[in-house]
Structure 1
């Protein structure tokens, strides 16, 4: 009926579920609050850049688990599986120049190229080393925050020989075994120098202890200047027991020490199977190793207070043995 204000539906019923209408400012206050700055494209999983970064990171992770293609062996450290990362443009280029076996070259995205980067890419291509592009954040994580400058080279763990194999290798070639053992030498550059001398003077292998001693790192490879590809390195769990086993196999063990009673040049057994043992520059031979040696020999030097580092001492001793064998 017209004008009837009491008709059904004209007035909202008391206790209506909808209730009074309020302004949108009060009703949607939380919805209008800010959510912070927009994330970078690389951090957004749905963005193209984010998908690309996730793909590269996954590819890099899978590359770390792939076994090396080469049987031969930094960054600033070694992981629990023995892999090493050489970080930094100069370090990577020097490692590639030395033909260090490597399984991957990591290059940061949008890296600023210079002569070192160009050379690293060229050398890695020549050596057949896979090239992996990686976000800088991933390189930071892989190198434990080291200054990588956008380049990192992955070096696989070295495949150490066993000590008896060194003797067999020499005898199979019809040669008299000549070995070198290092006792307490912790500088990988000294190890590399010893390997280089071993290659120059016809030694058949180098023995290093498993603990408290330098191993075959990138630094040792670089110092060896290619000789590490020819001279095998054996790792002994216990050096003293390894020397005893060599003696039982007919190898004469001679230790180098400044207090030795015989000059190394007068070592008449140099033409026989022999293992020369070189101690650290500071402490020399350890007590047990000294007691295990058949003879302790010295390198005569002008001043009794001076000492020679392991690399130089090994070179002199090897030269004297090589000279006696060629006489």
Structure 2
């Protein structure tokens, strides 16, 4: 096909099957069409999650869920790409998973009824050392994300598309940060803001010496 291969992934394993508890016999027999990197081809879901758990980064991502925003799923997908420690859904337990493209299966996703519950959980993390709660929204008085030293242990909190962070979220955050913009629009898409904030953490704290992080 002119735009790429007709199928993603790989077919049945050719030849003698490999041994190891990480392998899924059904995938070996039928092929692995999942959107995973080559490292995890033919691996069981649980084995992939366990391996990811050995390498997860120190940042968390939280999203307020009052309107079943489609952007929630896209933020979760970015959280998987940048290997967030955990993803937190605040508000309604049910959320629109369509944009996640099943990447939520590889993440630890927690639900919190209120922002106060989220803040309490983050305070208790790391044996009480806690995780800073940073709101990301272009509010009056917000600090500049681009010129701020991003801490290693931080949770980026995003509001709903349109209204942004709720009043309760603003009060619970240790600080709020805006992203520099130069065009005519007042704000950028919530999922785009999420990816930018996570990448700010990556540039500061991730191990970029491994060439496998850049995938062609």
TM interval, shorter chain, is: 0.5 to 0.7
Secondary structure of 1:181's aligned partner: strand
Using the TM superposition, give the Cα deviation of residue 304 of structure 1 relative to its aligned residue in structure 2, in angstroms: 6.6
CA distance in 1, matches of 2:188, 2:103: 22
- Deviation sequence 1:111-154 (CA, Å, 0-9, x none): xxxxxxxxxxxxxxx69xxxxxxxxxxxxxxxxxxxxxxxxxxx
Asked whether the equivalents of residues 191 and 214 of structure 1 are also in contact (C-alpha less than 8 Å), the reply is no
Aligned residue number for residue 204 of structure 1: 85
Check if 1:242 corresponds to 2:114. Answer: no
User: How many residues are matched?
Assistant: 154
Q: Note the 1:158-307 alignment, pairs <5 A.
A: 173=54, 177-184=58-65, 186-211=67-92, 215=95, 217=96, 220=97, 222-249=98-125, 250-259=130-139, 260-268=141-149, 270-303=150-183, 305-307=185-187
In structure 2, relative to structure 1, the CA distance for the partners of 1:185 and 1:302 (3 Å cut) is: farther
Secondary structure of 1:281's aligned partner: coil
Secondary structure of 1:308's aligned partner: coil
CA distance in 1, matches of 2:178, 2:75: 17
Asked whether the equivalents of residues 146 and 180 of structure 2 are also in contact (C-alpha less than 8 Å), the reply is no
Asked whether the equivalents of residues 243 and 253 of structure 1 are also in contact (C-alpha less than 8 Å), the reply is yes
Farther off after superposition, 239-248 or 274-283 = 239-248
TM-score relative to the length of structure 1: 0.42
Q: CA RMSD in A?
A: 2.8
Unaligned runs of 5+ in 2: 1-7, 9-29, 32-49, 209-216
Aligned residue number for residue 34 of structure 2: none
Using the TM superposition, give the Cα deviation of residue 175 of structure 1 relative to its aligned residue in structure 2, in angstroms: 5.4
CA distance in 2, matches of 1:176, 1:225: 21
Query: Higher RCO, 1 or 2 (CA under 8 Å, sep at least 6)?
Result: 2
Asked whether the equivalents of residues 61 and 88 of structure 2 are also in contact (C-alpha less than 8 Å), the reply is yes
In structure 2, relative to structure 1, the CA distance for the partners of 1:304 and 1:276 (3 Å cut) is: farther
Unaligned runs of 5+ in 1: 1-96, 98-125, 128-168
Aligned residue number for residue 16 of structure 2: none
TM-score relative to the length of structure 2: 0.61
- Deviation sequence 1:80-117 (CA, Å, 0-9, x none): xxxxxxxxxxxxxxxxx9xxxxxxxxxxxxxxxxxxxx
CA distance in 2, matches of 1:234, 1:228: 11
Larger CA Rg, structure 1 vs 2: 1
Secondary structure of 1:196's aligned partner: helix
Asked whether the equivalents of residues 64 and 89 of structure 2 are also in contact (C-alpha less than 8 Å), the reply is yes
